[in-house]
């Protein structure tokens, strides 16, 4: 079959009266159903089919700061083939987008993540693996990847840059796929990653400790010990792999770390064990079962466990040590499994599964006292939000400022941003116009002061069917963007992003 065509011609488009150098690198065929009405394959989630190289992007408004130097990378779920049965937005194939700023100019690249699973499906001209809300038995492809097995590793959830590589990862575990962070040239899967954790693979949310120049990774699955922690050194080599036994299969999505410890969550939201024994993977929230946090010495040693109020933490904000106390900040969900609204019709179940606002997640602090074994906890801010970011240089260290996204109620779409000052309790917010959505906004630092710099985000306007990159002052996100840069087309929505400075 024709799996895509390569077009090396240089296209000159005109936007706002200026010529922009845009090269179409590859076009993919649209295999999705004609007249598709899936809410997470249309509108803001309509996948992209073209890979571009764009240089010297057009600045629509403002000016790109001279001291903004580095690359903003975002991974997106960008399905190229129809689903076997029901499609969940997190099943989509990875498409990586990057914008690099240097000398007041910007260039953009986007590429599909060339996973083994995508190559097999394009070759077959058909989907081979069922997604997360279908039975694994429906998969045609044998084995597959993922915490539950028989899924496609779409490598579409997360991206982090370590040891000069942009590593994409999948929330249900798989291989880590390496790319050049600026050109997005594919360098294949990290050889060690498939066998990590006894074959569980690596989860999304590897955690970068820039001070130690280490990357902490984890994997989870249905076989004991159910959770494995790993450490990559400054060269990206796996130097440590330790089991962190859990009572059974769990669904962790993130972890936290401090200078000396990794923090592992054992949350009471997991596959119903009785159904799991019958091959049915149905997550259930056990509202009377405590949350447990494991404090794992990074250098090796006994894990210390703490009990806390039942919840599910999708994302941690940061953690640090304060004497014998471990401070852990993350998003406490009041309702991890919101009930479907019948008014949403055939998509009711799916819509609530990814309705971040309905989970009523708020910034929360747990204090784990290693001297007494006690955990105390408190809400930090009232604002329902999620997808937090910090200045990477204070990861695992005492810090002051956090950023996060707000979500459009009923949708997995970011309608605004928030800035939290953990010292004063001050809060700033910014909201885009109706139908306009941003992407996770990491800090692009410009000085030694924490969070002094910029917030970079991709913004899609579903009314105009266009996308742009917006740059905000990290001190004043509420003042709106200080620069807007045109992108070649409307980008598909997605999940995680990161900032990689130019050294
Ligand atoms: Fe995530």
Q: How far is the CA of 24 from the centre of ligand 1 (A)?
A: 30
- pLDDT of amino acid 375: 98
Alpha-carbon Rg for the chain in angstroms: 21
Q: How far is the CA of 428 from the centre of ligand 1 (A)?
A: 23
Q: Please give the model's pTM, rounded to 2 decimal places.
A: 0.95
DSSP 150-204: SB-----SEEEEETTEEEEEBTT-BPPEEE-TTT--EEEE-TTTTTHHHHT-BBS
The structural domain count of the chain equals 1
Domain annotation covers residue 5: no
Q: What does the pLDDT profile of the chain (503 residues) look like in tens digits?
A: 333 334 333 334 444 444 458 999 999 999 999 999 999 999 999 999 999 999 999 999 999 999 999 999 999 999 999 999 999 999 999 999 999 999 999 999 999 999 999 999 999 999 999 999 999 999 998 888 989 989 999 999 999 999 999 999 999 999 999 999 999 999 999 999 999 999 989 999 999 999 999 999 999 999 999 999 999 999 999 999 999 999 999 999 999 999 999 999 999 999 999 999 998 999 999 999 999 999 999 999 999 999 999 999 999 999 999 999 999 999 999 999 999 999 989 899 999 999 989 999 999 999 999 999 999 999 999 999 999 999 999 999 999 999 999 999 999 999 999 999 999 999 999 999 999 999 999 999 999 999 999 999 999 999 999 999 999 999 999 999 999 999 999 999 999 999 999 87
Owning domain of residue 22: 10-501
Domain annotation covers residue 3: no
CATH code of the domain containing 45: 2.130.10
Q: How far is the CA of 157 from the centre of ligand 1 (A)?
A: 7
C-alpha angle 277/314/178, rounded to 5°? 90
Residue 314 near residue 333, CB atoms below 8 Å: yes
Domain annotation covers residue 286: yes
User: Closest Cα to residue 457, out of 404, 391, 408?
Assistant: 404
User: Closest Cα to residue 219, out of 196, 237, 238?
Assistant: 196
Q: How far is the CA of 315 from the centre of ligand 1 (A)?
A: 6
Domain annotation covers residue 1: no
**Residues in the chain, overall count:** 503
- pLDDT of amino acid 142: 82
Q: How far is the CA of 286 from the centre of ligand 1 (A)?
A: 22
Distance CA 254, CA 264 (A): 8
Q: How far is the CA of 151 from the centre of ligand 1 (A)?
A: 18
* Phi and psi at residue 122, to the nearest 5°: -65, -40
Q: How far is the CA of 254 from the centre of ligand 1 (A)?
A: 7
**Both structure tokens of 308:** 């806390």
Distance CA 181, CA 208 (A): 15
Paired sense of beta strands 443-445 and 453-461, if any: antiparallel
Domain annotation covers residue 4: no
Residue 57: which residues within 8 A CB-CB, separation 6 or more? 20, 99, 105, 106, 107, 108, 469, 485, 486, 487
Domain annotation covers residue 125: yes
């Amino acid at each position: 079959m024709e799996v895509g065509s390569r077009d090396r011609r240089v296209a000159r488009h005109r936007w706002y009266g200026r010529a922009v150098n845009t090269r179409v690198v590859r076009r993919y065929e649209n295999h999705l159903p004609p007249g598709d009405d899936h809410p997470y394959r249309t509108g803001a989630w309509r996948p992209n089919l073209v890979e571009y190289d764009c240089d010297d992007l057009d600045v629509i408004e403002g000016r790109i700061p001279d001291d903004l130097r580095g690359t903003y990378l975002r991974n997106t779920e960008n399905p190229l083939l129809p689903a076997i049965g029901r499609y969940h937005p997190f099943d989509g194939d990875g498409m990586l987008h990057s914008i690099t700023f240097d000398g007041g100019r910007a260039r953009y690249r986007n590429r599909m993540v060339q996973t083994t699973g995508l190559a097999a499906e394009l070759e077959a001209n058909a989907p081979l693996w069922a997604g997360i809300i279908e039975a694994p038995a429906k998969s045609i492809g044998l084995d597959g990847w993922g915490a539950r097995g028989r899924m496609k590793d779409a490598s579409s959830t997360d991206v982090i840059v370590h040891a000069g590589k942009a590593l994409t990862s999948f929330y249900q575990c798989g291989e880590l796929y390496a790319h050049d962070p600026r050109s997005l040239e594919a360098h294949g899967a990290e050889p060690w990653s498939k066998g990590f954790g006894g074959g569980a693979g690596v989860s999304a949310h590897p955690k970068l400790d820039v001070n130690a120049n280490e990357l902490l990774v984890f994997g989870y699955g249905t076989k004991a010990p159910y959770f494995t922690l790993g450490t990559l050194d400054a060269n990206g080599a796996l130097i440590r792999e330790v089991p962190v036994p859990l009572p059974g299969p769990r669904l962790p999505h993130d972890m936290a770390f401090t200078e000396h410890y990794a923090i592992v969550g054992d949350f009471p939201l997991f596959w119903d064990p009785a159904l799991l024994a019958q091959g049915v993977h149905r997550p259930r929230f056990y509202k009377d079962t405590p949350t447990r946090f494991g404090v794992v010495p990074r250098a090796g040693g006994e894990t210390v466990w703490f009990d806390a109020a039942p919840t599910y933490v999708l994302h941690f904000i940061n953690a640090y040590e304060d004497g014998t106390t471990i401070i852990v900040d993350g998003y406490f969900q009041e309702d991890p499994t919101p009930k479907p609204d019948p008014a949403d019709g055939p998509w009711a179940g799916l819509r609530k599964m990814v309705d971040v606002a309905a989970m009523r997640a708020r910034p929360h602090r747990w204090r784990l006292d290693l001297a007494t074994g006690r955990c105390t906890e408190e809400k930090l801010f009232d604002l329902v939000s999620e997808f937090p970011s910090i200045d990477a240089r204070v990861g695992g260290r005492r810090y002051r400022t956090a950023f996060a996204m707000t979500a459009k109620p009923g949708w997995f779409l970011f309608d605004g941003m928030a800035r939290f000052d953990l010292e004063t309790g001050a809060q700033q917010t910014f909201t885009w116009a109706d139908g306009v959505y941003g992407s996770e906004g990491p800090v692009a630092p410009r000085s030694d002061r924490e969070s002094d710099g910029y917030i970079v985000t991709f913004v899609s306007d579903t009314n105009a069917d266009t996308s742009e990159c917006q740059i905000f002052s990290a001190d004043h996100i509420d003042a709106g963007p200080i620069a807007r840069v045109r992108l070649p087309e409307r980008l598909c929505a997605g999940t995680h992003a990161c900032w990689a400075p130019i050294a």
